Amino acid sequence: MSDVHSLERDLLAAIANAGDEAALEEVRVSALGKKGSISELLKTLGGMNAEDRKQKGPLINGLRDKVSGAIAARKSELALAALNARLQAERVDVTLPARPEPRGSIHPVSQVLDEITAIFADLGFAVAEGPDVEFDDYNFTKLNIPPDHPARQMHDTFYLAPQADDSQHLLRTHTSPVQVRTMLKQKPPIRVIAPGRTYRVDSDATHTPMFHQLEALVIDEQTNLGHLKWVVEEFCKAFFEIDTVELRARPSFFPFTEPSVEWDMRCDRSGGQTIFGTGHDWLELGGSGMVNPHVLEMCGIDPSRYQGFAFGFGLDRMAMLKYGAPDLRPFFESDIRWLRHFGFAALDIPTLDGGLSR
């Protein structure tokens, strides 16, 4: 029976050395397959006499059971090892960010523009647009600033070469011509904002040749200065993300509004940082007023029936104030370090419910 014992030793060693399931299967077939070494031994039992069979039967059957058991055990060992190797290879570090940080960012002016649009949409205003290259007539004359009016001097205008028909084009010096465009094509009630690019020959820490304004226009039958104040107040609360604001109205002059009012908002600059809503300082917001009846008339709206208000604020100035940028010029210099510092995450879209600036 030494051949049974040596076969057992050889087979158990081969099973232990099988490095993967394919090698193990080879050992199984060589031992327990149709022509395998153990199957051949089992076949010899039939030709034995009863005495030999009684003696060798349990030995050979025992060998078969032992080898089958060893194969099954090795098989699950190999399966576990394969699984562990796969888990190791496919390991995911869940502490890593899901995707790389986006590399671009939203410019503070675009951010402020989105914030303002969200605020005014909530107040029921539509967004109106006009071109950057504007007619002199819309930028000035229909706003009650005729060709020889001194107010033209204050606008430091970029003029384009005169047209063949002698009409004059210019880069709009304010967003107020969008008032004209809106009134010429839309009948009251009118409730629009017109944010956009504007141009003046001007450059210092708080003035740039290209800048942005936010225009608002409301025309209806009963609209009055109280409504104007309320809208400015609600806008400031939402924009500066504070619960109370205190406004100061200063008399002013614009040819296209009568009376005209400049608005300041209470703030505190004592600590070197601007805190909105409290304190002893005032922050300038911009100009406004009741639309001059003469402008309504020139834009085809009956001033005996309709009246309304308009305001025009500096949008870049508002971005400077809200986000603490001390100088306006870098806004338009495309310095990547400035943009990284003052930019906003691309997917944080400002909404009133979700938060404007987060």
Q: Which of 111, 157, 168, 288 binds ligand FA5 (CB under 6 A)?
A: 288
Q: Which is nearer to ligand FA5, 47 or 150 (CB)?
A: 150
| Shortest separation between residue 98's beta carbon and ligand FA5, angstroms | 40
**Binding piece for ligand FA5, criterion CB under 6 A, among 14-22, 88-96, 180-188, 284-292:** 284-292
Euclidean distance between the first and final Cα of the chain, in Å? 85
Q: Does 28 bind ligand FA5 (CB under 6 A)?
A: no
Residue 191 lies near ligand FA5 (rule: CB under 6 A): no
Cα–Cα distance, 112 to 134 (Å, whole number): 24
Size of the site for ligand FA5 (CB under 6 A): 22
Residue closer to ligand FA5, measured from CB, 21 or 327:
327
Of 114, 115, 136, 316, the one binding ligand FA5 (CB under 6 A) is 316
DSSP helix/strand/coil, 285: strand
Q: Which of 137, 202, 220, 234 binds ligand FA5 (CB under 6 A)?
A: 202
- Please tell me what DSSP assigns to residue 141: G
In the structure encoding, which two tokens stand for residue 258, read together?
């009568």
| 311 touches ligand FA5 by CB under 6 A | yes
**Taking CB under 6 A as the rule, does residue 307 contact ligand FA5?**
no
- Which of 254, 331, 342, 344 binds ligand FA5 (CB under 6 A)? It is 254
**310: contact with ligand FA5 by CB under 6 A:** yes
CA nearest 181: which of 118, 134, 248?
134
Place of tokens 């104040």: 229
Within 8 A by CB and 6+ apart from 142, the residues are: 177, 180, 295, 298, 299
Instruction: State the DSSP string of 171-190.
Output: E-SSSTHHHHHHHHH-PSSE
**116-136 burial string, b = 16+ CB within 10 Å, else e?**
bbbbbeeeebeebebeeebbb
Give yes or no for residue 308 binding ligand FA5 (CB under 6 A).
no
Q: Cα torsion at 203, 208, 214, 219 (round to 10°)? A: 40
Task: Please tell me whether residue 265 binds ligand FA5 under the rule CB under 6 A.
Answer: no
Q: Which of residues 211 and 306 has its CB atom nearest to ligand FA5 in the complex?
A: 211
213 binds ligand FA5 (CB under 6 A): yes
CB of 212 to ligand FA5, least distance (A): 8
**Bridging pattern class, strands 126-127 and 190-199:** parallel
Q: Does 196 bind ligand FA5 (CB under 6 A)?
A: no
Phi, psi of 3 (to 5 degrees): -65, -35
By CB under 6 A, name the binding residues for ligand FA5.
174, 176, 200, 202, 207-208, 211, 213, 215, 254, 257, 286-289, 310-312, 314, 316-317, 328
